[in-house]
Structure 1
């Protein structure tokens, strides 16, 4: 089981949205170690260990540091081949090494016949190996298969890097991204409609992406693009006026249950033509700025907003609302700019933009002269690029909106707002699949109603609380501890069950599976973290003092495997956020907990001769697990 997840994680690490298939197919498993000898045409570029330490000190992740070293080797090995990026990947089998440089085969194909000394890929790999600058991070390199350079890291260097993180804080392991400011547009429910399970994925995925970007020292503008401006407000306002003439005195009482209020107004809108006409006029009055209509609209929005905030508070989600209404004043300017580029044309009474490859036009002004989602989204994009100076704008919605985003992104590129190539500033649509019930259909209640998000979270918490009570925790803990632990586990289980799946796929919502304390679940991971904390507590040692006076070693093979996994944390976060795939981080977290279990099974901690070193390794593991939890929006528990 452990080997399966280890192999799956390593495959995910090589995943890229554009070239995953090429990477996976062109990187076969090494078949063995070849005896190597120095060749006269290899000109080693040697530096002292001290000099090399300064080169690798602040280069980011372990993988980035290896890329730096092998980049220098490639420049010496093939000086006539400019800008050859080093291909560094983790070894699929740690028996061969920790990492591989996989440039030899592709380089040989390019220079075959040009350099007489390079008669086969192995000779290129040998040259790359011999030209790697001397570094205290590398213990040795060997050649395998058709020129793969297998890299074994120095055990001492690994231990020192982990100890340094313990001293300086895990923020020193933050990835380095090529952007300084990003917008993450997520959650985005509609005013007057209660949040349901369909909003769960956008909210959870968007929050995790924002957290990973923030950890990477990117300024993130967390935007809640709520639906607060449209024809439905004429219906709601007119129904409010008809039902309660004293609505201004107590708007909350006049509306009552907002979801039910919406249903009633919609029924009347569909069945009463006179009411429908009045509602349509109310929209005109609202958009015209009449005070009475604006006030009613603001009250409806405020009531809805308070309901949203209850969900966000439970999920520990931070958002700044900038809804559709905010961008409405910017639409005329955005459309004027598009018109100046001759992109907008008349079609069947509407104003549209035709983008290449799609027959259906992007409608930016409807036949009746009104604006729509496309016009609002274009205005919002212009604002985010020009007023907020965002370099990366990320939209988190279901996959069903993919074509809409492709079309309006294409329109922005035609207008010159975005570069034609995949350069910054750039936009990304983060699509996700459906939440399904156990019947394989869209997740609903037995009465076919969409499941309310508040009810779902309550159910998760209550089930966890019942399980804790059955284990006797009600007698051991205070009432507050019981409530907080039930919330942390219940809400964490809901989040992790979503995030561990590739977001592009549908997933089946099942409480029994997500609350299981075995397997790849948040419950298992939270328990694993609590066990590590228990080990440290039972030692009776002051872990902060040990960080100052103790040393860390990775002598046992299980210690070394765990240490390597810890050191890979920065590059995993970078990969997850660059590809906008939180499941990569989840896979890493699960494998880390498995590696810790193997370490603890094979290595006595408390009372051993290596107690100090192993307690420090326990603390480093707990720190990385907690940071993973934080990035996934999960609150850790410290005792179970």
Structure 2
């Protein structure tokens, strides 16, 4: 189904041709939703943009275009200001559009004409440590983008590239051999592994000899030492169990868990290939990739300024002690994703602080012939109420399990106040749905590059721009249908969308198919979140202005269709954000 926006743009393009206007090569013919509906529903500034190039009066050019524009079956036209073309959609058009939507399982959202193979790398916690609050953003953003991509028709492969092979394992293995508490490792393995890591990390700062021993343990592991490998396997095993408990709570899953260790056998031949390709050379005992010298120093990720002079800042792919690092693994990972999954795009949903690493990785990959589009989907920081990065009283990052527990508890408190008559078991399930949904929506309603304050009281509130507000909006829709005393056929026959409240809601519903694809333009789920808030507000305004159950005939049916569509779009849209909706609250 074509959206109104697509239909109008096609008609505008035809009108330009009919008016004899030659478009410059690559000139975009775009129509936009009007910022102020008092001026219409859609607006085009094409005439003004073209007039500059053609050296014409923009209003005269707009008049020529409007004279050739055939949209009488859809909208009324007017020319405003210096040459804006405004489209005011007719009420019968809204009736037809709503009729199309009620019969469309995709709710007006088309599928992409050319599906691409997109690999989404997200979450990626380190093994042997519990997930902390810093993993919220990558996990939730990555999951939502994956869901939206799949819904739009792309072939998506999700990969949890866990940190299961790195420096921390030298410390963990040393701790396992020297400091382990046998009772604790059985009772709560992830917490005990975290304790070991912290204890050994402290010892390394105090004693250089222990730091050397940890380094030796890591090298032994990387060289296949049987004892160290067995300890490592146990760490990975118990870590995955703990991680999956969190992912189950978040309703997040992955197609693959190909951690750093998966690529071990590829690293030696990869480094040899980098040398043979002339990309890597030895420097101070380490093997490094240096600048290709094709970019200005300010834009070159392999350059840094020291004492006013530009110096080399290479990517190390083999350390002086012979060990490999995550940069080496990431280059191998790109190779794998290209060869095995035929990736057209690879998205890395990772903290903005890793931007330099990804600039180097993408540069190296491009020099090695990578044709796929590699993109770092960066994000900001979660802040406490004091405006500083969120931490516990001890100065540590809060563990993600604790954050989710607190969100569920806060939601349970609100339910006790607002829905005290519900059965205890139902309130418990609702608290999970609302609490987890609140954490997700708070994340996804902010621009991903911005920081935001983690405030549970605001997040679980029924009023405001929150998940509970949207969930309640869905519940309010379903309550209407529970009150029906008879079966109603919800189809396109006889629909009448005439009242302003009806038109406003129909307009917002029709934009679902227009808005959703734009999420992928800049990879910003907050565009969908903001749309859903607009839809909920349009529905509540409609519900206050237009009687539903007390109306009659085609008017009643039309309003019930609008309600049904609102429920479907809220459920689908929130589902694409990874948020569930309850039937009652």
Tell me the residue number matched to 1:67.
9
Evaluate the alpha carbon distance shift between residue 464 and residue 252 of structure 1 in structure 2; reply closer, same or farther with a 3 A threshold.
closer
CA contact (8 A) 2:175 2:197 kept: no
Cα 1:410/1:551, change in 2 over 3 Å = farther
2:127 counterpart residue number: 191
| Residue 209 of structure 1, CA deviation | 0.8
Say yes or no: does 1:456 pair with 2:391: no
1:144 to partner: Cα distance:
1.4
Deviation string for 1:610-635 (max 9, x for gaps)? 21110110000111111111111111
Which consecutive unaligned segments of at least 5 residues does structure 2 have?
Answer: 304-312
Work out the CA distance in 1 between the residues paired with 2:12 and 2:281. 53
Aligned partner of 1:405 among 353, 358, 362: 358
Instruction: Establish whether residue 388 from structure 1 lines up as the match of residue 341 from structure 2.
Output: yes
Given the superposition, is the C-alpha separation of residues 252 and 266 from structure 1 closer, same or farther in structure 2, using an over 3 Å criterion? farther
> Who is 2:224 aligned against?
289
Distance 1:255 1:338 in 2: 37
Indicate yes or no: 2:79 matched with 1:169.
no
Distance 1:178 1:362 in 2: 36
Any conservation in 2 of the 1:251–1:299 contact (CA below 8 Å)? Answer: no
Displacement of 1:340: 4.5
CA contact (8 A) 2:78 2:86 kept: yes
Q: Secondary structure at the match of 2:335?
A: helix
Q: 1:141 aligns with which of 77, 84, 88?
A: 77
- The reply on whether 1:129 has 2:45 as its aligned counterpart is no
Match among 433, 438, 448 for residue 493 of structure 1: 438
Secondary structure of 1:403's aligned partner = helix
C-alpha separation in 2, matches of 1:354 and 1:568 = 46
Query: Residues 254 and 227 of structure 1: is their aligned pair in 2 closer, same or farther, counting only changes over 3 Å?
Result: closer
**Displacement of 1:154 after TM fit?**
3.7
1:530 maps onto 2:464 in alignment: no
SS at match of 1:221: strand
Partner of 2:193: 258
Cα 1:74–1:373, aligned 2, differ >3 Å: closer, same or farther? farther
Q: Does the Cα contact within 8 Å between 2:351 and 2:380 map onto a contact in 1?
A: yes
Query: Structure 1's 439 and 152: CA in aligned 2 closer, same or farther, altered over 3 A?
Result: same
Aligned equivalent of 1:446, options 393, 398, 414: 393
1:520 — aligned with what?
465
Deviates more, 1:64-73 or 1:252-261: 252-261
Where 1:187 maps in the other structure, the secondary structure is: coil
Question: 1:105 and 2:48 equivalent?
Answer: yes
For 1:549 and 1:161, the matched residues in 2 are separated by 9
Is 1:101–1:149's contact at 8 Å kept on the other side of the alignment?
A: yes
Cα shift at 1:377 = 1.4
Q: Residues 272-316 of structure 1, C-alpha deviation per residue, up to 9 Å, x if partnerless?
A: 555444432322222122333222211101111111111111111
Residue by residue, what CA displacement relative to the aligned partner does 1:45-68 show, whole Å, maximum 9, x if unpaired?
xxxxxxxxxxxxx44x33233222
Correspondent of 2:322 among 369, 381, 396: 369
1:87 aligns to 2:23 (yes or no): no
CA distance in 2, matches of 1:171, 1:91: 22
Query: Is this contact kept in 1: 2:129–2:190, CA < 8 A?
Result: no
State the distance in 2 between where 1:298 and 1:503 align: 35
- Residue matched to 1:433: 380
* Deviation (angstroms), 1:254: 7.9
Does the Cα contact within 8 Å between 2:174 and 2:214 map onto a contact in 1?
yes
Deviation at 1:84, TM superposition (A): 2.8
Name the CA shift for 1:62/1:371 in 2 (closer, same or farther; >3 Å).
farther
Shift, 1:527, TM fit: 1.3
Which of 427, 438, 441 matches 1:482?
A: 427
Cα gap change, 1:427 to 1:520, in 2 (>3 Å): same
Query: CA, structure 1 residues 95+243, in 2 after alignment: closer, same or farther (shift >3 Å)?
Result: closer
Per-residue CA deviation, residues 207-265 of structure 1 (Å, 9 max, x unaligned), is 11111111111121111111111122122223323456999xx9778887222232233
CA contact (8 A) 2:166 2:326 kept: no
On the 8 A contact 1:174/1:215 being kept in 2, the answer is: no
Distance 1:556 1:334, change over 3 A: farther
Give aligned pairs, total.
Answer: 563
Alpha-carbon distance in 1 for matches of 2:102, 2:15: 32
2:68 and 2:362 map into 1 onto residues whose CA distance is: 45
- CA distance change for structure 1 residues 102 and 460 in 2, over 3 Å: closer, same or farther? same
Query: CA contact under 8 A between 1:238 and 1:279: conserved in structure 2?
Result: yes
Shift in Å, 1:337:
4.5
| 1:202 and 2:138 matched | yes
Show the counterpart of 1:563: 506
1:256–1:595 distance in 2 versus 1, CA, 3 Å: closer
Q: Which moved more, 1:259-268 or 1:629-638?
A: 259-268
Contact 1:550 1:612 in 2 (8 A): no
- 1:331 maps to which of 267, 274, 295: 267
5 Å-filtered alignment, 1:305-344, equals 305-319=240-254, 320-344=256-280
Q: Specify the alignment match of 2:307 in structure 1.
A: none
Question: Residue 341 of structure 2: SS of its match in structure 1?
Answer: coil
Post-superposition shift, 1:510?
A: 0.8
Q: Equivalent residue for 1:26?
A: none
Deviation at 1:540, TM superposition (A): 2.9
- Does the Cα contact within 8 Å between 2:164 and 2:236 map onto a contact in 1? yes
How big is the shift at 1:484?
1.2
**Could you tell me which of 463, 466, 482 is aligned with 2:413?**
466
Offset, 1:108:
1.3
Aligned partner of residue 103 in structure 2, secondary structure: helix
DSSP 3-state at the match of 2:465: coil
Select 2:284's aligned residue among 336, 348, 351.
Answer: 348
Specify whether residues 523 and 256 from structure 1 end up closer, same or farther in structure 2 by C-alpha distance, changes over 3 A only: closer
Structure 1 segments unaligned to the other structure (5+ residues)? 1-57, 113-118, 419-424
Deviations along 1:85-142, one digit per CA (max 9) or x if unpaired, are 2121111221222111211122112222xxxxxx411122122223335574x22222
2:536 matches 1:599: no
* SS of the residue 2:377 aligns to: strand
**Contact kept? 1:461, 1:489, Cα under 8 Å:** yes
How far 1:553 moved relative to its partner?
A: 2.2
